[in-house]
Amino acid sequence: MLKLFKLFNNKRLFILLIALVMFIVVMGFSLGTRKSLSWPENFLRDTTGFVQNLFYKPAGYVAGLFQDIGNLHKLAEENKELKILAAQYAREKAQYNFIKAQNDQYQIDLKFTNAQKNLYKYDYRIANVVSLTTEPSNNTLVIDLGAKDGIKLNMSVTSVEGLVGVISQVSNFTSTVKLMTMMDVNDPNSQPPIAATAFNKEGNTFGMIESYDQQSGMLMMNKIPVGNPVAKGDTIISSGIGGVYPRGMTIGTVESVKVGEYGLTSTAIIKPAAGFQDWKELFVVFTEERAE
């Protein structure tokens, strides 16, 4: 008994003994079959859940914030790449359109030159237009073919649509083309008149294209003999007489025919086939005589 009192006097040992007993009691209580938790367990669980929730939500918000920042950075990089791809696509699209337009023009040029070769055995050389002067007294353009390319004075120059003019000046690397819009029967510096006829009526029609009306934009085909069957809608081409303009060059279409002042000849109003536009390419016509 005395030893028991001494044991109680030892506080540490006494507390350890009490804790051990309570642990055994709690273990036995916990391992037993129960339908519900005790109030200390409920209190401990609720307290733990509250504390966990208290720390978990802010931590989740912070983690979500850093994740959103990471996503924004990723989106910014993707947006930058998309902008680069869009700019690259725009450049490639423009290059494609330019190449396609060039290819289409080359197809037209090839078709035209092949057709003309089959008709008259002429050689058509493509020339790029370097500059254009539209002054009323000097309606000319410059092409990038010259004497080194075999260009000579009075060679005919045409577009796909029709006759444009003649070579009026030649240097080593470039040539000047005087347009038909400068044709004037009263101007001694004008290019030679064009001996012309109507397509499919070559043996029955004849006239001289000598001038261009600046106001109406029409060519004048004069000296048409009486009874000549040239009529509205006819396609006028060069007859080749005179040796300056090759035979068969398309000039334009007859808009109307009127009888001259004395009734001996008629004049046909010709709408030029060439639009006299801002050309990029033209053709210089090489005939066998000119090539020699």
Is 271 within a domain? yes
Most confident among 12-26, 36-50, 186-200 (mean pLDDT): 186-200
Question: Sign of torsion, CA 251 253 258 259?
Answer: positive
Q: Are 142 and 185 in contact (CB under 8 A)?
A: no
Per-residue pLDDT tens for 75-126?
777 777 777 777 666 666 666 565 666 556 666 655 555 555 555 678 888 8
> How does the average pLDDT of the chain come out, rounded?
77
126 and 103 in a common domain: no
Per-residue confidence (pLDDT) for residue 291, from 0 to 100: 45
- Rounded CA separation 252/223 (Å): 17
The residue among 211, 201, 190 whose CA lies nearest residue 267 is 211
Most confident of 6-20, 146-160, 174-188: 146-160
Going from the C-alpha of 126 to that of each of 24, 174, 233, the distances in angstroms are 111, 13, 30
Contact 195, 245 (CB under 8 A): yes
* Residue with the larger pLDDT of the pair 229 and 135: 229
Give domain status of residue 28, yes or no. no
User: What per-residue confidence (pLDDT) applies to 289?
Assistant: 57
Give the domain-ending residue among 112, 136, 160: 112
Residue 42 falls within a domain, yes or no? no
179 shares a domain with 138? yes
- Let me know if residue 229 belongs to a domain: yes
**195 and 242 both lie in a single domain:** yes
Same domain, 69 and 143: no
7 assigned to some structural domain: no
- With beta carbons less than 8 A apart as the criterion, state whether 285 and 163 touch: no
pLDDT of residue 189: 76
Decide which of 112, 131, 151 is a domain's last residue.
112
Q: Is residue 73 located within the same domain as residue 170?
A: no
Q: Is residue 29 part of a domain?
A: no
Q: How many CA atoms lie within 13 A of 124 on its CB side?
A: 25
pLDDT at 207: 92
User: 145 and 209 share a domain?
Assistant: yes
Is 108 part of any domain? Answer: yes
**What pLDDT is recorded for position 271?**
95
- Which structural domain, as residue segments, surrounds residue 153? 122-287
Is there a single domain that holds both residue 155 and residue 180? Answer: yes
Q: Based on the domain organization, do 151 and 66 belong to the same domain?
A: no
CATH code for the domain of 217: 2.40.10.350
Quick one: average pLDDT of 135-139? Answer: 72
Q: Which residue, 112, 137, 154, sits at the end of a domain?
A: 112
For residue 22, is it within any domain? no
Where does the pLDDT of residue 232 fall: very low under 50, low under 70, confident under 90, or very high at 90 and above?
very high
Query: Do 143 and 281 fall into the same domain?
Result: yes
Co-location of 136 and 268 in the same domain = yes
Residue 243 phi/psi, 5-degree rounding, is 80, -5
Alpha helices in the chain (DSSP H): 2-9, 11-31, 39-120, 288-291
- Count of domains observed in the chain: 2
Q: Are residues 81 and 127 in the same domain?
A: no
pLDDT at 166 over 70: yes
Please name the residues in contact with 188: beta carbons below 8 A apart, sequence gap of 6 or more: none
Please report where in the chains the tokens 């040796």 appear, as a residue: 243
Say yes or no: 191 and 254 in one domain. yes
